[in-house]
Structure 1
Amino acid sequence: MAGHGTEEHPHGADRLCGAGDRVYSRAVRRGRVPRTDAEAVPCLLDLALLHPDPDDMDWLVPTSPQEVMTRLLRGVYDEVKESQRRVGSAVAAFDWYAGLGSRLQALSAPGEGTAIRVLDGLSRIQAAMDEATEACTTEVLIVQPGGIRREDELTEGLHRALDLRGRGVHMRALYTHVARHGQGLLNYLELMGDAVEARTLDEVPDRLILFDRTVAFIPANTERTMALELRHPALVAYLVTVFERLWRLALPLTASLPDSGIEGISHRERAIAALLAEGHQDAVIAERLGISVRTCRAHIARLSDTLGAASRTQLGVRIAQVGLDEPPHTGPQAAPAVLRVPDQESPTGR
């Protein structure tokens, strides 16, 4: 972030530097300040005294003085024998800031002020996730996009998962079908046992983690260096509904993928064909299905050979002719279609 390397600010939230004191005081009085005002005082972001405005990322809003004081004192009281002086100074400092914050208090009514919180930086995201894990008692719902999970990705959150399992928390996770081929995921699920239930789909939305149906985390940028912590009941309930509907459509990890319904065409090729019919480019299809662009193009080439298409335009026509642009048939009545030679008058018998 701009300004982080310009100056050292070796202090805590209970004794701000002069520049930090002026910017934070102004933010509390006005309700927010431009992000540029904080470039010279990165301590305010590092100490979570300011955070991005969810409605306009170019502005920073102050954390409620009472919330900051509570957070600070939680750590101070853990070391009360060594921190008596800091407790007193923290209370005095934030009592003074609270006097400036009457307008902020009106905006921070219970249930509203922390409905949406922007977490800027991986360390802040990690801290918020650890806090939610600690408070979780019943259930975690997870949507994990992408393809085969790398070992380092799986071990990154393993300590949280093991902690949840130890407290009897049940977890349900949605992955793409491609994730089935990763040995790392299979090892992870074996380690977690009955604590985790996994299902897969052709494609899933962006990453989502829900704790006890009360707090959710979603990415706030494409690099995933920012996240949104959502606690508004309506938003969380909506995300739970989306998850449950996807869960009903998904297949258990132990179940086999269904046939495509057309002889010579795999389930993945059918999913690719449907996305091609919608007009998506190779890179978009690969990202949505969790595969590489190279693998995606190999499947498209195989589709073209199977359907006798000599060009992309002709492939689109063949896809529509054999019904690959429609949902696959399911159930015991479904039977593979018989493809005819593409140049014949009737392109397919279904």
Structure 2
Amino acid sequence: MAGHGTEEHPHGADRLCAAGDRVYSRAVRRGRVPRTDADVVPCLLELALLHPDPDDMDWLVPTAPQEVMTRLLRGVYDEVTDSQRRMGSAVAAFEWYAGLGRHLQAVSASAEGTAAIRVLDGLSRIQAAMDEATEACTQEVLTVQPGGIRRESELTEGLHRAVALRGRGVRMRDLYTHVARHGQGLLNYLELMGDAVEARTLDEVIDRLILFDRTVAFIPANADRTMALELRHPALVEYFVTVFERLWRLAIPLTAPLPDTGIEGISHREQSIAALLAEGHQDAVIAERLGISVRTCRAHIARLSETLGAASRTQLGVRIAQVGLDRPPGGASGVAGTASGTAPGRASDTVSLPDQGSPSVR
């Protein structure tokens, strides 16, 4: 319905168009409406009067009229000295939403707890919710940042929030993958933030997670991260805090070097790749979990094969198990015990390499 854009609905939440009035009123009375009902009134989504139902994305649920009223009055307060007309309009809208509020209370009385999960549809809605949570935060922010080297644009995007938090004495703890250590942008960011931010790294982390004051959490709601969930249910938030704290205890401070594998010629990253290969993961999955490209992952696998003297993927799996690389880094004391000053695969007489050079790597 591209023809029903904002040009045909040049209004705010305080003066809905006739079509918007009908659809929003119906949503309040019934508790939700099909997403198709909003095709002719995109203004309701743009004004966040309707948002996706967390239980079924094909339906839209109404924003509580009380919340809309609060938003209206906040915006009008900033403009009251410039426009008395806007105040009168908001007061009228307030009365209209107050009448609808009685209908929504009756509908939602049996749906206790649904307000604890809010779907944020679109980057602008996500940014607005994040800014609101940042302003309310007074003590602590916990974040998990998956992927590899952090791009300058990503770091710059959230810099204003981090600076504002630091100014209020808020402490921040960030978890990254080990690959992020190689990004100069991250190092510059941490130097700028000083002791307000503490960073640690792991071979792999969970998907993106941001926690404010252990009361509200944000997680992605789709693969391309154009939708997010804002979670305020105490049980859910506490669960994510527990996950973060356990990962934090396993992580290595960014200021500390990664532990040596104890096997000559095997890097920490190659040890991580070996453990994931032993679990049966494909190259693309390993690359995604470690925050590297598939091409880089395959280059490491080729070096592993060469170091361990494996001529095929099957032989590589055997050699990984023989030298104890089938366990995650730091999770097995036997790994260091295999160190002998030379690469284990090269000292073995049980594996014969073919004459035609390096093994093939898919």
Provide closer, same or farther for how the CA distance between residues 40 and 118 of structure 1 changes in structure 2, counting only shifts above 3 A. same
Q: By how many angstroms is 1:5 displaced? A: 4.1
Provide closer, same or farther for how the CA distance between residues 221 and 328 of structure 1 changes in structure 2, counting only shifts above 3 A. closer
Provide closer, same or farther for how the CA distance between residues 4 and 252 of structure 1 changes in structure 2, counting only shifts above 3 A. farther
CA distance in 2, matches of 1:111, 1:140: 28
Indicate yes or no: 2:146 matched with 1:157: no
8 Å Cα contact 2:217/2:232 also seen in 1: yes
Provide closer, same or farther for how the CA distance between residues 328 and 209 of structure 1 changes in structure 2, counting only shifts above 3 A. closer
Q: By how many angstroms is 1:7 displaced? A: 5.5
Indicate yes or no: 2:178 matched with 1:172: no
Provide closer, same or farther for how the CA distance between residues 158 and 114 of structure 1 changes in structure 2, counting only shifts above 3 A. same
Indicate yes or no: 2:144 matched with 1:143: yes
Indicate yes or no: 2:192 matched with 1:191: yes
Q: Which amino acid in structure 1 is aligned with residue 137 of structure 2?
A: C
CA distance in 2, matches of 1:126, 1:139: 19
Aligned to 1:281: 282
8 Å Cα contact 1:210/1:216 also seen in 2: yes
Aligned to 2:24: 24
CA distance in 1, matches of 2:76, 2:295: 54
Aligned to 2:91: 91
8 Å Cα contact 1:199/1:251 also seen in 2: yes
CA distance in 1, matches of 2:36, 2:94: 24
CA distance in 2, matches of 1:214, 1:33: 30
Indicate yes or no: 2:343 matched with 1:337: no
- Any idea what SS the aligned residue of 2:174 has? strand
CA distance in 2, matches of 1:320, 1:149: 33
CA distance in 1, matches of 2:215, 2:4: 34
Q: By how many angstroms is 1:336 displaced? A: 4.6
CA distance in 2, matches of 1:253, 1:63: 42
Q: Which amino acid in structure 2 is aligned with residue 18 of structure 1?
A: A
CA distance in 2, matches of 1:103, 1:323: 65
1:281-311 Cα distance to aligned partner (Å, 9 max, x none): 1111111101111110000000111111111
Q: Which amino acid in structure 1 is aligned with residue 230 of structure 2?
A: E
CA distance in 1, matches of 2:117, 2:58: 16
- Any idea what SS the aligned residue of 1:171 has? strand
Within-5 A mapping of 1:63-142: 63-106=63-106, 107=108, 112-142=113-143
CA distance in 2, matches of 1:13, 1:238: 36
Q: By how many angstroms is 1:316 displaced? A: 1.3
CA distance in 1, matches of 2:35, 2:348: 61
My pick for the range that moved more, 307-316 or 191-200, is 307-316
CA distance in 1, matches of 2:136, 2:6: 37
Q: Which amino acid in structure 1 is aligned with residue 60 of structure 2?
A: L
In structure 1, runs of 5+ residues without a counterpart are 346-350
- Any idea what SS the aligned residue of 2:127 has? helix
Q: By how many angstroms is 1:95 displaced? A: 2.8
CA distance in 2, matches of 1:186, 1:100: 52
CA distance in 1, matches of 2:168, 2:70: 26
1:100-158 Cα distance to aligned partner (Å, 9 max, x none): 34352252699835311101010111111111111110100010001111111111111
8 Å Cα contact 1:31/1:103 also seen in 2: no
CA distance in 1, matches of 2:200, 2:109: 39
Provide closer, same or farther for how the CA distance between residues 128 and 40 of structure 1 changes in structure 2, counting only shifts above 3 A. same
- Any idea what SS the aligned residue of 1:216 has? strand
Equivalences, count:
345
TM-score of the two chains, using structure 2 as the length reference: 0.90
- Any idea what SS the aligned residue of 2:327 has? coil
My pick for the range that moved more, 319-328 or 246-255, is 319-328
CA RMSD between the two structures: 2.2
CA distance in 2, matches of 1:115, 1:109: 14
CA distance in 2, matches of 1:47, 1:211: 25
TM-score of the two chains, using structure 1 as the length reference: 0.93
1:312-349 Cα distance to aligned partner (Å, 9 max, x none): 12211211122111244578x9445331534339xxxx
Aligned to 1:307: 308
Provide closer, same or farther for how the CA distance between residues 65 and 328 of structure 1 changes in structure 2, counting only shifts above 3 A. closer
Aligned to 1:57: 57
CA distance in 2, matches of 1:297, 1:194: 38
In structure 2, runs of 5+ residues without a counterpart are 352-362
1:260-287 Cα distance to aligned partner (Å, 9 max, x none): 2323211100100111111111111111
8 Å Cα contact 2:202/2:251 also seen in 1: yes
